[in-house]
């Protein structure tokens, strides 16, 4: 059973922290303790932080390295050539992907029972959020720079699980991408989901969130803020996002009646 585990990806950080005792974790990324993107910043506090390059990882003499599919392939190759055990956990793009990620990490760290317990808890919460029959209200996850979450993303799966129809398809045939504000105003969704609030990022890229029309749209129709930490990673905490969305969906129904 590995006892000096290093994680190189925000998503594997969180899965690892949920699955094993802290004394078996050698290091995680700095993002794990960042409340903007991590669902469990408090649990991550106190765990050593790795910069993520091979030399830094070797300092911890890990017996298992967990990595995500993006941005670290050179590091992963190098660590493997040096004889380290590296497990690359695929990105979860739907709820089955979340279950698979949990099982992949749980299997690698020897915590299969704990993994199955997390999945059972996730399934219980998903069942509670299952929408009543009837037409699903439409929703859009509108982000910095005017991008929206499209079909095939974890966020899209979360909308569906909460009984909402992702309207991004109506704006753009392509997956993801940017939606001009004009289209959002011409065909507003029943629920506007904002991934961050207007003041969170002081960058020119977030100007779209500060546009007066977004404020107006929020005053007129239903909207919620669903911070990234809830849905950026495919961990069992995706249930937090789904519960919030389901609550907002119920609110729309109530408002209509």
Q: Quick one: which segment of 40-48, 99-107, 186-194, 233-241 binds another protein (CB under 8 A)? A: 186-194
| Distance of alpha carbon 134 from alpha carbon 111, whole angstroms | 40
Q: Does 204 bind another protein (CB under 8 A)?
A: yes
| Distance of alpha carbon 7 from alpha carbon 11, whole angstroms | 9
Q: Does 247 bind another protein (CB under 8 A)?
A: no
Q: Does 182 bind another protein (CB under 8 A)?
A: yes
**Which residue, 50 or 122, is less far from another protein as judged by CB?**
50
Rg (CA), the chain: 20
Q: Does 81 bind another protein (CB under 8 A)?
A: no
Residue selected from 40, 100, 178, 251 as contacting another protein according to rule CB under 8 A: 178
- By CB under 8 A, the count of residues binding another protein is 29
- Complete DSSP assignment for 87-147: EEPPPP-SHHHHHHHHHHHHHHHT-HHHHHHHHHHHHHHHHHHPPPSSPPPEEEEE-GGGB
**Which residue, 137 or 171, is less far from another protein as judged by CB?**
171
Q: Does 46 bind another protein (CB under 8 A)?
A: no
Task: Enter the tokens of residue 203.
Answer: 């960058």
Q: Does 198 bind another protein (CB under 8 A)?
A: no
Task: Enter the tokens of residue 39.
Answer: 């669902």
| Distance of alpha carbon 172 from alpha carbon 180, whole angstroms | 10
Q: Does 185 bind another protein (CB under 8 A)?
A: yes
Q: Nearest distance from residue 198's CB to another protein, in Å? A: 11
Residue selected from 125, 211, 218, 253 as contacting another protein according to rule CB under 8 A: 211
25-27 vs 5-7, strand pairing mode: parallel
| Distance of alpha carbon 26 from alpha carbon 32, whole angstroms | 13
Q: Nearest distance from residue 179's CB to another protein, in Å? A: 8
Q: Nearest distance from residue 58's CB to another protein, in Å? A: 26
Residues 148-177 contacting another protein, CB under 8 A: 172-174, 177
Task: Enter the tokens of residue 254.
Answer: 């109530």
Residue selected from 212, 254, 256, 257 as contacting another protein according to rule CB under 8 A: 212
Q: Does 91 bind another protein (CB under 8 A)?
A: no
Q: Which residue has the tokens 């609550």?
A: 247
Q: Is 7 exposed, middle or buried, given 0-12, 13-18 or 19+ CB atoms closer than 10 A?
A: buried
Q: Nearest distance from residue 250's CB to another protein, in Å? A: 27
> Alpha helices, DSSP H only, in 20-111?
41-44, 54-59, 73-81, 95-109
**Which residue, 181 or 250, is less far from another protein as judged by CB?**
181
The residues that touch another protein, with contacts defined as CB under 8 A, are 37, 144-146, 172-174, 177-178, 180-183, 185-188, 201-205, 207-208, 210-213, 216
């Amino acid at each position: 059973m590995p006892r000096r585990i290093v994680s190189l990806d925000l998503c594997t950080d969180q899965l690892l922290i949920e699955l094993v005792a802290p004394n078996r974790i050698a290091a995680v990324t700095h993002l794990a303790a960042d409340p903007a993107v991590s669902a469990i910043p408090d649990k991550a506090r106190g765990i050593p932080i790795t910069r993520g390059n091979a030399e830094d990882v070797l300092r911890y003499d890990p017996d298992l390295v967990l990595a995500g599919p993006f941005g670290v392939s050179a590091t992963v190759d190098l660590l493997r050539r040096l004889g380290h055990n590296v497990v690359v956990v695929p990105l979860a793009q739907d709820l089955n992907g979340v279950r698979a990620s949990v099982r992949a990490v749980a299997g690698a760290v020897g915590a299969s029972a704990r993994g199955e317990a997390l999945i059972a808890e996730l399934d219980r919460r998903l069942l509670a959020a299952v929408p009543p029959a009837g037409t699903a209200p439409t929703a859009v996850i509108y982000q910095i720079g005017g991008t929206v979450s499209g079909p095939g993303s974890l966020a899209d799966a979360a909308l569906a699980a909460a009984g909402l129809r992702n309207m991004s398809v109506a704006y753009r045939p392509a997956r993801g991408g940017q939606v001009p504000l004009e289209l959002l105003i011409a065909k507003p969704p029943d629920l506007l989901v904002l991934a961050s609030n207007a003041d969170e990022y002081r960058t020119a890229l977030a100007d779209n969130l500060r546009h007066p029309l977004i404020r107006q749209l929020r005053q007129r129709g239903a909207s919620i803020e669903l911070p990234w930490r809830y849905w950026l990673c495919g961990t069992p905490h995706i249930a937090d996002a789904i519960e919030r969305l389901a609550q907002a969906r119920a609110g729309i129904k109530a408002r209509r009646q």
